[in-house]
Chains A and B, each alone.
Chain A
């Protein structure tokens, strides 16, 4: 064995602790990169394939009844590649907590011969035609029954029907029930009849041969309906459907988050590896000088040390890849549940594996090569005279000696100046810590700001419970039923209809699609519950017959609906003009509000009310909702949906939580990277300044005083990072809130800086400082004599 290799093995023995640490860190870094990139690759592919496997239709056409002849006719039309007939009904099901959850019931002719909107078995087997109800698997946690168990479901007449769960299915085109607070169920026509629902289909789902865009689907729907009209088979309504998952934005955000995570892992991995090798090389420079004096050339020395670190990288890669692949699968499994997707294939593309391998091999090698090459290129004189104490660059030192003068104490001046001995290292630490902190603060601030706005908005909307009736009922009758419930303080029967903007009114509204339809809601003459905050204009006059108030959400969807604008509304075949007189803020779907007279002008529905809004006397809104439900059922008036303020809040909360959890993960990762770098750097600083520490102790500084110097450095960095984190978090939160304000909530979202986030950040900072203190304490065990003679 050559002497050079003997030196390599000798160094391995000498630096065994550092070598183990470097290998461990590299393995963890590699595992993180591999896990994040693998998960991203699998999810990108599987999200798309999972959604396309559901064969989501391009169009939905509504008829009074879909006959086999109609089905054949549409199937035979040009550019139609698949059709399927269904009926969708909305009812309620008894949940685990005793409440009645909304249930979307889809009546399917034949489970095993689905053409479009496909779902597949999750557990159990396809039941016989009247063999029970199929439940979308994400709703299982909300229900009180498993496979074979029974569910209590409301019938249209208000009775309770009991059906066994035939199977759990997976519908990858819907968001998870736990987030939507809605149970998705599927039944055969026979089972539908047992639930009091109609057996026949009223909906035709159509898949186009080629869909270029949403507009092309709209155009195709119009052409299709025109063709059906010529055969006297026109649809009541045609709707172009979006072919993206309801949570497509969320999914993309999560994929981006994984990208950020892998970048973080890279920073962590390479920076730490570089640091540790730099620390080792700092101790080796004197030997480098000796070897050079003996005739060694720079490349020989560089190769010698590369031979020391390369096996570590290979071992770390082997461990990291295995760990990363397992971790990646766990991430995918977790996302599979959160996004309600199917992951059919778990393999990672081969090209990605090669890229990951090259990346995981080269990045740490490059990071470690820098200090090695730097040391190898030192002149023998410089290397041998290196005292192990890093002298700051003259420019930085001069600047620091001018700028940093801590009044009253030279100890703190020393600490702060030492912080800038390694400006780049300090900047990396500051960056990692402040970004991590900023992400954490931003997440908390956004979450709290939004939830406060949601709470305030729900509070100001006046009502605690909204009941959407299955059938329209005379308003006075509804109010009388509700008033009989003792805890009901105010009951108002509201009118509700779905309208669209007539084509001639605006140029930005497509003729036939769901996006052009919105709710028209009318409040009673003497309403006490219509309390939306106005942002512009006024509320409609009491005696007006053509005035309307729009929510900001509606204005955002139709930017031409400005105050003063006359708009032509279409309700079925009826067209009427109304004037927009004001804009109000409200969370939720876009709504146009009018008084009863205007509503009648638009719809001619008379006194029939579809909604009941309730203000509760009791704080137990859930109990009041149950009492109201019973009262309505007793009066043979069946509620379609019963929505409490808490249900809306929970649903919104769940949506924010999913994104928030992911961002918090990133924040935690960033803060951890910063903390690890800070701890590692402090350890490195202490190592570098061992002799200097000995000098300070010789001058009379107690170990506690020396620890205080290092601690002050770490505290300084932590405090600056915290301030930077706050400075970054403020505009970042505001910018994200602005996006949320425009695209999600449609109400003003004043920023409320999160004190709990700040407290969490404070705790994190404390942990970082404690970690540094422990590292310092451990490192100061060296005696003064050993410290002074340290090389």
Chain B
């Protein structure tokens, strides 16, 4: 089991968020796309929900239900067509592209299904790059912090390898370390175990549980029932609308 503790690492002040804070708030958020033939595709329909700081939320739903769209809206990768969206004290509907980029780097850690590590940079360099973009961590502390993060995901011995030289599970752990580079309060994961075997998926599961213990707000889009089981709250989407939003026991 990999034990994770991101706060108190080199160059990072401890994240102190009250669990009662509303970290993510959507009010009647809608997202629609124009498709060929003049038709409109409604990816999200009047979604309203609130996620408090430190919550571990799993978003479930079939393909095309709007899970990824919801994640994209929360990450500021996309903008709502209607409604309000406030994430980490930022109103995302009106923010400019540059403001959003910096905000995202500081407040959101994104984990992708296909890892998406930059192939020309080594693992440690991938993490340092994320810190450079935001500038939150002092430049003198970046390398040490990156190595500590890799230590936490049990990849310290692979730090100077290129992504192509690592296995899928190792790459995903490296991607998690990169997502935590700027110590973001929110971590978003899009099918993080979708491309991994069950044993490696269990490791990732454990990592996520540790993140929540550290006070991170975690939103995971997944089909993986094991991953959904450890979440505190499960939101189900269908045809762009929330059909179920329930709390469940924490088994981390």
Taking Cβ atoms with an 8 Å cutoff, the residues of A that contact B are: 387, 389, 391-392, 394, 397-398, 400-401, 408-411, 413-414, 417-418, 421, 691-692, 694-705, 783-785, 788
Given contacts A414-B120, A784-B77, contact A397 B125 (CB under 8 A): no
Interface status of B200 (Cβ within 8 A of chain A): no
Interface status of B104 (Cβ within 8 A of chain A): yes
| Extra 7 A-B pairs, beta carbons < 8 Å, given A691-B116, A788-B77 | A401-B121, A401-B162, A408-B139, A411-B133, A413-B125, A696-B133, A698-B75
Contact of B125 among A410, A695, A699 (CB under 8 A): A410
| Among listed B48-56, B80-88, B94-102, B202-210, interface-contacting one | B94-102
- Interface set, chain B 143-202, CB cutoff 8 A to A: 160, 162, 164-165, 178, 181-182
Given contacts A391-B164, A392-B119, contact A702 B97 (CB under 8 A): yes
Q: Which residue of B lies closest to A691 (CB)?
A: B116
Interface status of B118 (Cβ within 8 A of chain A): yes
Whether the pair B164, A696 counts as a contact (CB closer than 8 A) is no
Could you say which residues of chain B place their CB within 8 Å of the CB of A409? 132
As a 0/1 sequence over residues 125 to 142 of chain B, the CB contacts with chain A under 8 angstroms (1 = contact) are 100111011100001000
- Interface set, chain B 61-109, CB cutoff 8 A to A: 72, 75, 77-78, 97-98, 101-102, 104-106
Could you say which residues of chain B place their CB within 8 Å of the CB of A705? 101, 133
Whether the pair A417, B105 counts as a contact (CB closer than 8 A) is no
Could you say which residues of chain B place their CB within 8 Å of the CB of A398? 162
Interface status of B22 (Cβ within 8 A of chain A): no
Q: Which residue of B lies closest to A704 (CB)?
A: B98
Q: Which residue of B lies closest to A695 (CB)?
A: B116
Whether the pair A421, B132 counts as a contact (CB closer than 8 A) is no
Q: Which residue of A lies closest to B164 (CB)?
A: A391
Could you say which residues of chain A place their CB within 8 Å of the CB of B182? 700
Bound CA–CA A705/B178 (angstroms): 18
Bound CA–CA A14/B128 (angstroms): 40
Whether the pair A397, B120 counts as a contact (CB closer than 8 A) is yes
Q: Which 8 A-B pairs have the closest CB atoms?
A: A700-B105, A417-B120, A700-B133, A410-B129, A702-B101, A784-B77, A702-B98, A785-B78
Bound CA–CA A413/B124 (angstroms): 13
Could you say which residues of chain B place their CB within 8 Å of the CB of A784? 77-78
Contact of A703 among B97, B104, B134 (CB under 8 A): B97
Bound CA–CA A244/B181 (angstroms): 77
Whether the pair A414, B101 counts as a contact (CB closer than 8 A) is no
Bound CA–CA A464/B129 (angstroms): 68
Given contacts A391-B164, A700-B101, A784-B77, contact A411 B129 (CB under 8 A): yes
Whether the pair A698, B132 counts as a contact (CB closer than 8 A) is no
Interface status of B110 (Cβ within 8 A of chain A): yes
Bound CA–CA A491/B55 (angstroms): 104
Contact of B101 among A397, A417, A701, A785 (CB under 8 A): A701
Whether the pair B102, A410 counts as a contact (CB closer than 8 A) is no
**20 pairs from A and B in contact (CB 8 Å cutoff):** A394-B165, A397-B164, A401-B121, A401-B160, A408-B139, A410-B125, A414-B118, A414-B121, A695-B118, A698-B77, A699-B104, A699-B129, A699-B133, A699-B181, A700-B101, A700-B134, A702-B97, A783-B77, A784-B77, A788-B112
Could you say which residues of chain B place their CB within 8 Å of the CB of A703? 97-98, 101
Whether the pair B130, A700 counts as a contact (CB closer than 8 A) is yes
Contact of B118 among A696, A700, A702, A783 (CB under 8 A): A696
Taking Cβ atoms with an 8 Å cutoff, the residues of B that contact A are: 72, 75, 77-78, 97-98, 101-102, 104-106, 110, 112, 114, 116, 118-122, 125, 128-130, 132-134, 139, 160, 162, 164-165, 178, 181-182
Whether the pair A702, B77 counts as a contact (CB closer than 8 A) is no
Could you say which residues of chain B place their CB within 8 Å of the CB of A418? 120
Bound CA–CA A783/B164 (angstroms): 27
Whether the pair B164, A699 counts as a contact (CB closer than 8 A) is no
Bound CA–CA A668/B110 (angstroms): 47
Could you say which residues of chain B place their CB within 8 Å of the CB of A785? 72, 77-78
Given contacts A391-B164, A394-B164, A410-B129, contact A699 B178 (CB under 8 A): yes
Instruction: Name the distance in Å between A430's Cβ and chain B's nearest Cβ.
Output: 18
Whether the pair A700, B77 counts as a contact (CB closer than 8 A) is no
Bound CA–CA A703/B119 (angstroms): 20
Whether the pair B122, A401 counts as a contact (CB closer than 8 A) is yes
Bound CA–CA A699/B98 (angstroms): 12
Bound CA–CA A417/B121 (angstroms): 8
Instruction: Name the distance in Å between A14's Cβ and chain B's nearest Cβ.
Output: 12
Bound CA–CA A788/B68 (angstroms): 12
Could you say which residues of chain B place their CB within 8 Å of the CB of A392? 119-120
Could you say which residues of chain B place their CB within 8 Å of the CB of A417? 120-121
Q: Which residue of A lies closest to B125 (CB)?
A: A410
Residue of B101, B106, B120 contacting most chain A CB atoms (<10 Å): B120
Instruction: Name the distance in Å between A690's Cβ and chain B's nearest Cβ.
Output: 12
Could you say which residues of chain A place their CB within 8 Å of the CB of B75? 698
Bound CA–CA A784/B112 (angstroms): 14
Whether the pair A698, B120 counts as a contact (CB closer than 8 A) is no
Whether the pair B130, A413 counts as a contact (CB closer than 8 A) is no
Instruction: Name the distance in Å between B68's Cβ and chain A's nearest Cβ.
Output: 8
Q: Which residue of A lies closest to B190 (CB)?
A: A788
Whether the pair A701, B105 counts as a contact (CB closer than 8 A) is yes
Could you say which residues of chain A place their CB within 8 Å of the CB of B122? 401
Whether the pair B118, A391 counts as a contact (CB closer than 8 A) is no
Bound CA–CA A418/B160 (angstroms): 17
Instruction: Name the distance in Å between B143's Cβ and chain A's nearest Cβ.
Output: 10
Instruction: Name the distance in Å between B162's Cβ and chain A's nearest Cβ.
Output: 5
Could you say which residues of chain A place their CB within 8 Å of the CB of B110? 698-699
Instruction: Name the distance in Å between A699's Cβ and chain B's nearest Cβ.
Output: 4
Contact of A699 among B72, B97, B114, B130 (CB under 8 A): B130
Whether the pair A389, B119 counts as a contact (CB closer than 8 A) is yes
Bound CA–CA A397/B166 (angstroms): 14
Bound CA–CA A704/B97 (angstroms): 10
Whether the pair B120, A783 counts as a contact (CB closer than 8 A) is no
Given contacts A410-B128, A699-B178, contact A397 B133 (CB under 8 A): no
Residue of A410, A700, A785, A788 contacting most chain B CB atoms (<10 Å): A700
Bound CA–CA A391/B120 (angstroms): 8
Contact of A397 among B72, B130, B162, B178 (CB under 8 A): B162
Whether the pair A783, B134 counts as a contact (CB closer than 8 A) is no
Instruction: Name the distance in Å between A413's Cβ and chain B's nearest Cβ.
Output: 7
Could you say which residues of chain A place their CB within 8 Å of the CB of B98? 702-704
Q: Which residue of A lies closest to B136 (CB)?
A: A700
Could you say which residues of chain B place their CB within 8 Å of the CB of A694? 77
Q: Which residue of A lies closest to B31 (CB)?
A: A785
Bound CA–CA A701/B139 (angstroms): 16
Q: Which residue of A lies closest to B103 (CB)?
A: A700
Whether the pair B116, A700 counts as a contact (CB closer than 8 A) is no
Could you say which residues of chain A place their CB within 8 Å of the CB of B134? 700
Bound CA–CA A256/B195 (angstroms): 60
